[in-house]
């Protein structure tokens, strides 16, 4: 194992003419997943790696999403690394600045920032069969890596709506993930397109400041109360003095959230209490029967992401707010016209329209042995083995890839499970002296069948809604459709029998025969 120490890299886009930098492992992204991978490598003595980050700091989603009201919908003690508990969370549910600060501090604490190449957006990655290396082109120069780990994440690239006239709008346009903090919406006529997780945080945050706010809703969401509260100073001191107490609380939070899987994936009757809670929350906060009816979903709770908020319903019920359900016909330079012919003057347009989840943009940039991109291989739906590897893409590992998403608990739990799997794969390569490790098509098909079997009967496929959980073919390629502890068991160690390994020094023809 190479032990060369790497230094912090901040090369400019003009550095592309330099010779490619050789590393053993190249990791794309420095959010929760990328940092976890880097920390794991550091902890076992691997120093020959780089985190390729397109921005100028670590943090991923929590660096990019700075819109007003941005916060997590999973409790802080659970939405954090198990190996890096933070006893100083100020609230039970943390806001964006606190989570970003936690990631920055964790990167520094574990020495990962020194391995980051900032301003290095990956524009192309191609497997070189002869060299048995990944050729990675970035805006900060080229890299050659034995192993490529994509930790780009599913919430990395904003999705923009296809609405006639959007490009002609002369006011300010902001996607929730690309918020312009220099723009003041005070006194403006604001339009928010979307009523998902970002919108239910943005609208209450800006509604008191604006002259008017029109919220364009396609499908109402189920919303339950947010049980958020400040963490008392004495509790923080206790967590520092007795670390085991915080671990125990994390365990309780995890277990309580896993109970929801019974209703989501096993027996839908277990969702009825959650549905009653959401209905009571709506009836308590919205008195107008017509508005209440417009905010009432007609699908089973859990079919789409369940949202948590105490101020969403009061915000859309405010005198200066309007919930618009007619559908948008077109956008004009200074207004929005709905299908019922009503034109609403608009100064600022906020697009709370989500991300590319089932069509990950990074998949278009990664090409495997036969020259096809991941996007081409996934044309009929994302497939993988253990949500981490893809046949035809040697030495490539995906974090937060297909069927890793969760709608009920902390994504960090799933990330740590995957990182352990990748780490065991790297250890296996070291122990066996392998230059190449690749999953078999048979293992990939078996995993696809497993996901399909577990998805049958779940609320996501039979709950009466369309969501970003499903791809264009109606298949669940996003969520893990079972208890998360079963995913951890499945990824605890590399399923070596499902992989072809090529020893270092073996002729290329042996690799071709093995493949």
* DSSP assignment of 156-204: SSB-----TTGGG--SEEEEGGG--TT---TT-EEEEE--STTHHHHHH
In total, the chain counts a number of residues equal to 515
CA angle 240, 242, 244 (to 5 degrees): 115
Taking only the tens place, the pLDDT of each residue in 256-309 is 999 999 999 999 999 999 999 999 999 999 999 999 999 999 999 999 999 999
pLDDT (0 to 100) of residue 138: 97
Question: What would the pLDDT profile of 136-186 be if each residue is shown by its tens digit?
Answer: 999 999 999 999 999 997 777 788 899 999 999 999 999 999 999 999 999
Give the position of tokens 């391995």.
Answer: 115
Percent of the chain with pLDDT strictly greater than 90: 85
Instruction: State residue 509's pLDDT score.
Output: 55
**Which tens digit of pLDDT belongs to each residue from 443-457?**
999 999 999 999 999
**CA distance linking residue 77 with residue 31, whole number of Å:** 18
Strand partners, 22: 144
Contact 412, 483 (CB under 8 A): no
Q: Tell how far CA 216 is from the center of its chain.
A: 24
**pLDDT attached to residue 1:** 32
Region of 153 (left: φ > 0; alpha: ψ -120 to 50; beta: rest) is left
The CB density around residue 44, as the number of other CB atoms within 10 Å, is 11
pLDDT in tens, 180-209: 999 999 999 999 999 999 999 999 999 999
Q: Give yes or no for residue 14 having a pLDDT over 70.
A: no
Q: What's the rounded Cα separation, in Å, for the pair 216 and 192?
A: 6
Q: Quote the Cα angle for 51-488-23, to 5°.
A: 20
Give CA–CA dist 400/337, Å, rounded: 38
Residue 18 pLDDT exceeds 60: yes
Q: What is the DSSP letter of 4?
A: P
| pLDDT at residue number 149 | 98
**What is the secondary structure of 261-294 as a DSSP string?**
HIIIII-GGGGHHHHHHHHHHHHHH---HHHHHH
Tell me the pLDDT tens digit for each residue of 387-413.
999 999 999 999 998 999 998 999 999
Rounded to the nearest 10 degrees, the angle between the axes of helix 243-261 and helix 233-241 is 100
Instruction: Express each pLDDT in 254-269 by its tens digit.
Output: 999 999 999 999 999 9
Q: Within 10 A of 263 (CB to CB), how many other CB atoms are there? A: 22
pTM reported for the whole predicted model: 0.92
Residue 357's pLDDT band, with cuts at 50, 70 and 90, is: low
Share of the chain above pLDDT 70, in %: 95
Task: Report the alpha-carbon distance of residue 390 to residue 370 in Å, rounded.
Answer: 13
Domain ranges of the chain: 13-58+112-157+356-514, 166-227+271-351
SS3 breakdown of the chain: % helix, strand, coil, rounded to 5?
A: 35, 20, 45
- Residues 37-64: tens digit of each pLDDT: 999 999 999 999 999 999 999 999 999 9
Per the DSSP assignment, residues forming a β-bridge with 322 are 214
What is the spatial distance between Cα 269 and Cα 32, in angstroms, rounded to a whole number? 34
pLDDT range class, residue 5, cuts 50, 70, 90: very low
pLDDT tens-digit map of 76-124: 999 999 999 999 999 999 999 999 999 999 999 999 999 999 999 999 9
Residue 17, pLDDT score: 59
Q: Give the three-state DSSP class for 26.
A: strand
For 421-472, the DSSP string reads: HHHHHHHHHHHHTEEEEEE-HHHHHHHHHHHHHHHTT-HHHHSS---TTB-T
On average, the pLDDT of the chain sits at: 92
* DSSP assignment letter at 469: T
β-strands 348-351, 189-193 pairing: parallel
- Give the C-alpha separation, 363 to 150, whole Å: 9
**First vs last C-alpha separation in the chain:** 25
**Any idea what the Cα angle at residue 422 is, between residues 387 and 39, rounded to 5°?**
120
Could you tell me which of 218, 222, 210 has the C-alpha nearest to residue 161?
Answer: 218
pLDDT score recorded for residue 4: 32
Q: How confident is the model at residue 436 (pLDDT cuts 50, 70, 90)?
A: very high
Poorest-pLDDT segment among 285-294, 312-321, 351-360: 351-360
**CATH topology (fold) of 166-227+271-351:** FAD/NAD(P)-binding domain (3.50.50)
CA–CA gap between residue 455 and residue 475 (Å, rounded): 9
Q: How far apart are CA 103 and CA 33, in angstroms?
A: 11
Q: Give the count of beta carbons closer than 10 Å to the beta carbon of residue 442.
A: 11
Task: Report pLDDT for 153.
Answer: 77
User: Going along 333-478, which residue ranges are E strands?
Assistant: 335-338, 343-345, 348-351, 366-367, 396-398, 434-439
- pLDDT category at 2 given cuts 50, 70, 90 is very low
- 166-227+271-351 matches 13-58+112-157+356-514 in CATH topology: yes
Mean pLDDT of 309-335: 97
What mean pLDDT comes out for the span 502-511?
73
Q: Which one, of 222, 75, 458, lies nearest residue 469 by Cα?
A: 458
Give the pairing type, strands 321-324 and 328-332. unpaired
pLDDT digits (tens, 9 = 90+) for 470-491: 888 888 989 999 999 999 999 9
Residue 208 tokens read as: 């008191």
How many contiguous H segments (helices) and E segments (strands) does the chain have?
15, 20
On the question of pLDDT at 335 being above 70, the answer is: yes
Q: Residue 40's closest CA among 143, 121, 111, 118?
A: 111
pLDDT value of position 328: 96
Question: What is the topology classification, in CATH, of domain 13-58+112-157+356-514?
Answer: FAD/NAD(P)-binding domain (3.50.50)
């Amino acid at each position: 194992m190479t032990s060369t120490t790497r230094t912090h890299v901040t090369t400019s886009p003009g550095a592309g003419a330099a010779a490619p930098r050789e590393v053993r492992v190249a990791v794309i992204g420095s959010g929760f997943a990328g940092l976890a991978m880097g920390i794991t490598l550091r902890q076992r003595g691997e120093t020959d790696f780089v985190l390729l980050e397109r921005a100028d700091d670590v943090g991923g989603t929590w660096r990019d999403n700075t819109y007003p009201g941005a916060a997590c919908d999973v409790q802080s003690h659970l939405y954090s690394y198990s190996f890096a508990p933070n006893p100083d969370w100020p609230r039970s549910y943390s806001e964006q600045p606190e989570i970003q600060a936690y990631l920055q501090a964790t990167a520094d604490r574990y020495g990962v920032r020194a391995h980051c190449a900032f301003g290095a957006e990956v524009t192309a990655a191609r497997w070189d069969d002869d060299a048995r290396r990944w050729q990675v082109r970035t805006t900060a120069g080229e890299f050659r890596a034995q192993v490529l780990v994509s930790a780009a994440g599913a919430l990395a690239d904003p999705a923009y709506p296809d609405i006639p006239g959007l490009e002609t709008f002369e006011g300010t346009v902001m996607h929730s993930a690309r918020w312009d903090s220099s723009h003041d919406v005070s006194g403006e006529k604001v339009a928010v397109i979307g009523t998902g997780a970002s919108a239910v945080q943005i609208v209450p945050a800006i509604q008191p400041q604006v002259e008017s706010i029109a919220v364009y809703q396609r499908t109402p969401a189920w919303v339950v109360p947010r049980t958020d509260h400040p963490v008392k100073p004495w509790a923080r001191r206790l967590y520092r003095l007795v670390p085991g107490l915080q671990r125990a609380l994390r365990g309780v939070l995890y277990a309580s959230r896993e109970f929801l899987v019974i209703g989501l994936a096993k027996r839908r009757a277990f969702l009825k209490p959650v549905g009653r809670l959401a209905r009571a929350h709506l009836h308590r906060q919205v008195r107008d029967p017509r508005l209440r009816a417009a905010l009432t979903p007609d699908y089973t709770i859990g079919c789409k992401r369940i949202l948590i908020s105490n101020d969403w319903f009061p915000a859309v019920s405010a005198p200066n707010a309007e919930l618009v359900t007619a559908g948008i016909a077109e956008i004009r330079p200074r207004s929005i016209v709905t299908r019922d012919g009503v034109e609403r003057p608009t100064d600022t347009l906020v697009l709370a329209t989500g991300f590319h989840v089932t069509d990950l943009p990074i998949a278009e940039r990664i090409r495997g042995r036969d020259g096809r991109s991941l996007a081409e291989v996934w044309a009929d739906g994302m497939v993988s083995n253990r949500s981490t590897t893809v046949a035809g893409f040697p030495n490539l590992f995906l974090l937060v890839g297909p069927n890793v998403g969760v709608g009920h608990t902390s994504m960090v739990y799933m990330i740590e499970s995957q990182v352990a799997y990748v780490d065991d794969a790297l250890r296996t390569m070291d122990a066996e002296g392998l230059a190449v490790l690749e999953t078999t098509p048979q293992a990939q098909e078996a995993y696809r069948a497993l996901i399909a079997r577990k998805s049958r009967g779940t609320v996501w496929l039979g709950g009466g809604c369309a969501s970003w959980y499903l791809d264009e073919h109606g298949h669940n390629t996003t969520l893990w459709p079972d208890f998360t502890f079963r995913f951890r068991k499945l990824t605890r160690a590399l399923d070596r029998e499902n992989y072809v390994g090529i020893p270092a020094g073996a002729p290329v023809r042996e690799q071709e025969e093995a493949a």
